[in-house]
Structure 1
Amino acid sequence: MFFLKNYTTLCVFVGLFFCRNISAFWYDSSDICNNLIYIDYCLICYNTNNVMYFLSQIPYYDRCDYIRIGHQRNVTKGEILKQEDEFMEKQSDVAKKRYKEYKDEHNFSKKLGRERLDSKVKHLSSDAQDLYKKIYAVVDNNDVTPFQEFQLCHTIINEAKFKAVVEASALLPSKFYPETYNGHFIFYENENPDECDDC
């Protein structure tokens, strides 16, 4: 009981002084930033593959501006990347350095993940390989918006042979993958479908 009481006190203390919730006063109720919580004053909390690695170096109320850029659905992916880079160019040298480290780590991880998937797709049928190629042709195209990407990939999966969809499903980004085939769709997001056990 003594431990539980002190542990609870410690959690409240840490929550009050080291965690922040972005104030909902500044944003409307549908804004993504209303639910943004991060740990302040923590040197080891964020590594280079966490967006807070560089956002923690940006002024408190400016962080949501960066996050909002990435959540645009009707702007091309290439334009989103450009806007993110332009936003970061206006930040401190430390934030810019960390942003570059984050992007390098992100791109490296993405490249390794794709190489893993490419090696696995070679063992699938030609229909499943074609489906994989069509999906990633859209995913790799920065001239489409995230909304167009979603629609195009959803259509590609919906029009593919069921057997090919089942066979390639572990290699496709799950955000495009329906829970039921040719019915009411519920989509799941997963950054790395190769490591998704329950998608």
Structure 2
Amino acid sequence: MSIKRLALAGIIAAALTLTACTGTGNQNPTASPTDTPTPTPTATSITGEAPADEDEAITKAEAAIELLLATQAQVTGEGNGGTDTAPYEAVATGAALQRYIEDAARIANGPTLNEDGESIDGPSTVEGAVVFEPMTAYGQEWQGVPNGLVLVPGCLDLSGRKITTADGKPAMQNPNLRNQFEFQVSYDAESKTWKVSNLIDLGATC
């Protein structure tokens, strides 16, 4: 399967610790992200009949990941700033939904560590995007649907996202901005919708 680069902006609670530190984070040096255009979602959810085979399931799952990450860019980007998390409900569920909502709350309200290690309350601003590079993907049965759950391990590149805290300073970042994560995408047979249900830190850089 060819590797796709899936644009997004934003970080879930786990990914947030890799991109911008909250008030309880470690005092790490700030990396210098590059500016990346913020993607705009072209659909509200990925829908369709149950997958005919694993290839179709993987295609749908990767589209769902891409849409979630684009939605995150929209939710935490300029003009919203994490205050409206309703769009997540169409693209995420379970643990993933909760983590994205928590990240948006940090963007909207703080606290976030700035580059000097100071815990700053108030809204942060987000520019740019994160990129996800799938390494492989495979499906398995989920709630009676063959290939209804797709696991997509890959590399989450956070170098293109810039967070500025409420005091106008860059947010503190983890120096390791490329890390391995696994997206888990599940199919809801009742709503005929694919949603990201979890994101797992694989504990390695890439």
TM interval, shorter chain, is under 0.3
Greater relative CO, 1 or 2 (CA 8 Å, sep 6+) = 2
Q: TM-score, normalised by structure 1?
A: 0.27
Q: TM-score, normalised by structure 2?
A: 0.26
Larger radius of gyration: 1
